[in-house]
Amino acid sequence: MASFPAILRSEWTKIRSVRSTVWTLALAFVVTVGIGALLSLLTNNNFTEFRRHDQSPFDATGTAFSGIMLGELAIIVFGVLAIGNEYSSGMIRATLAAVPQRGTLLAGKTVVLGALALAVSLVTAFVTFFVGQALLGSHSTSLSEPNVLRAVLGAALYLTMICLFSAGVTAMLHNQTLALGVLVPFFFLLSPILSAVPKVKTLAHYFPDYAGSRMLLVYEQNGQPYGPWAGFTICLAWTVAALVGGALVLKSRDA
């Protein structure tokens, strides 16, 4: 019976030794920072034109995080690959032979994956924020302003939870291609389409991506169904449900 620290070490070795998982984390950082920087610069250079018909307060934090959607795609891929690589290679059989306690195995994977995703997400969030504010010039904000630090931390937590949600879905499906085939349309097609249909848009408000976007809010917005803390709770519930589902499937199905 493998000890939990030994499982953690093993899972850490697996993740850092697979080049594709490292590259997806790097891509999440580059895309989020890069797109946020570009749009912050464009906003600063064309501020009067962009804000001509907009009466709401300018959200400098939200502008800096304009690239988080594409960064989200990279972090989804990372979560899928971190779990799915073992299934595609067949190494999961050797892993289960070494660690027959399947619930403990998935817990170890979740701890390592979550810690790594959180660390990268925190670096990404703060670098994105500071680069964006530097490029916004006189229109920038600071972490000392109300709700700004909470929004930056919310961005990091959102990316982390989306990563773990993706890992849970992959554990349920036992196939990384199938998992990506479900997750990418869910986040980038189904949710936006439902949000645009009046009769069902209320349902889309409780999807993890919409809930996560509430975590980045600095200002209260009229017509929004809930605020940042409710968004965090909803996103966390999706994440926990996916991981519990992954654990149940892992215990009940052969590799």
pTM: 0.92
Long-range Cβ contacts of 42-50 (<8 Å, 24+ apart): 43/136, 43/139, 44/135, 44/136, 44/137, 44/139, 47/139
Range(s) of the domain holding residue 215? 4-252
Q: Can you read off the two tokens belonging to residue 226?
A: 């809930």
Axis-axis angle for helices 19-45, 68-89 (nearest 10):
170
State the chain's mean pLDDT as an integer.
88
Q: What is the largest CA-CA distance in the chain?
A: 66
Phi-psi region of 242 (alpha: psi -120 to 50; beta: other; left: phi over 0): alpha
Stretch among 28-37, 80-89, 96-105, 176-185 having the lowest mean pLDDT: 96-105
Which positions ≥6 away from 154 have C-beta within 8 Å?
215, 216, 228, 231, 232
Asked if 68 and 18 count as a contact pair (C-beta separation under 8 A), the reply is: no
* pLDDT(67) > 60: yes
Helix (H, G, I), strand (E, B), or coil: what is residue 146? Answer: coil
Beta carbons of 147 and 218 less than 8 angstroms apart:
yes
Residue 21 CB partners (closer than 8 Å, separation 6+) = 15, 78, 81, 82, 85
Residue 228, judged by CB atoms within 10 A of its CB (0-12, 13-18, 19+), counts as buried
The model's pLDDT over 139-187, given as tens digits with 9 standing for 90+, comes to 889 999 999 999 999 999 999 999 999 999 999 998 889 999 999 999 9
Q: How does DSSP classify residue 220?
A: -
Taking only the tens place, the pLDDT of each residue in 186-221 is 998 888 888 778 778 888 889 999 999 899 989 877
Give the chain's domain count: 1
Question: Per-residue confidence at 254, pLDDT binned at 50, 70, 90?
Answer: low
Percent of the chain surpassing pLDDT 90: 52
